Structure 1
């Protein structure tokens, strides 16, 4: 049971890391090369679509990690799982406090209604996102170490 849960957790977290890495390294740099009107629309649409899915994915990843930690408690790899869970908690807190407020505003952006500082807000979101990607990559590595 524990091995199955570990594999499921690693797959779910790994896919999440892959999506977030792709957003940071490929999607947002592409958005940033678009003309301002298209860039604004892309950020707004991305905030709606991806912003609707990722909270479920983050919470599911954390729940799986916590279930794995409970099953592994006291055994080999348990400390790595707990450390990975702690990093996922950090990523959720970062998301709620830093990224979600910007994302919530970005959902409403349009050519007619964008704030004057929308580019600065998008840059700030990207900076926070890079840090969050680092945190979840490290969590993923710790989970992989725990399985080995």
Structure 2
């Protein structure tokens, strides 16, 4: 059971970290190269479809990492429980930054008119990019910590 739980937690956290990393290093630069109206149109489309995939995935990764933490602790493996617990906290940071940082900006961007963006659109995009980088880093750290928990 412990092995199955470890694999599930790693796969889920890997999907979260991988999806966010691709977004940060590949999709973001491509989107930034678009004219502003195209950027807004594409970003609004992403913000409709992306959460349908990512919300359940982030929650599942969080639950699996917590289950691995608890199970490792109950099975008397303090190093694994500690690393899994730190992974859980990192994945929790990922979710909190998503909800408190990215999401409010996404909601604001949903009302933007592509042909007439707000005067501060570049500032808002930069804020979103910063939050996205933080949440991506938290997801990657969570994955690394889960891998370390499984390895010990």
Structures share fold, TM-score greater than 0.5 = yes
Question: What's 2:61 paired with?
Answer: 61
Aligned residues: 148
Please report how far the alpha carbon of residue 118 of structure 1 lies from its aligned counterpart in structure 2 after TM superposition: 2.0
Question: What's 1:39 paired with?
Answer: 39
8 Å Cα contact 1:41/1:109 also seen in 2: no
CA distance in 2, matches of 1:108, 1:23: 22
1:28 aligns with 2:28: yes
CA distance in 2, matches of 1:64, 1:104: 29
TM-score using structure 1 length: 0.92
Please report how far the alpha carbon of residue 13 of structure 1 lies from its aligned counterpart in structure 2 after TM superposition: 0.7
1:128 aligns with 2:131: yes
Secondary structure, aligned partner of 1:77: helix
Closer, same or farther: CA 85–136 of 1 in aligned 2, 3 Å: same
Runs of 4+ with >3 A deviation: none
Question: What's 1:93 paired with?
Answer: 96
2:121 to 77, 96, 118: 118
TM-score using structure 2 length: 0.90
- Select between 106-115 and 15-24 the one with higher mean Cα deviation: 106-115
8 Å Cα contact 1:44/1:110 also seen in 2: no
CA distance in 2, matches of 1:144, 1:90: 18
8 Å Cα contact 2:37/2:115 also seen in 1: no
Structure 2 stretches of 5 or more lacking a match?
A: none
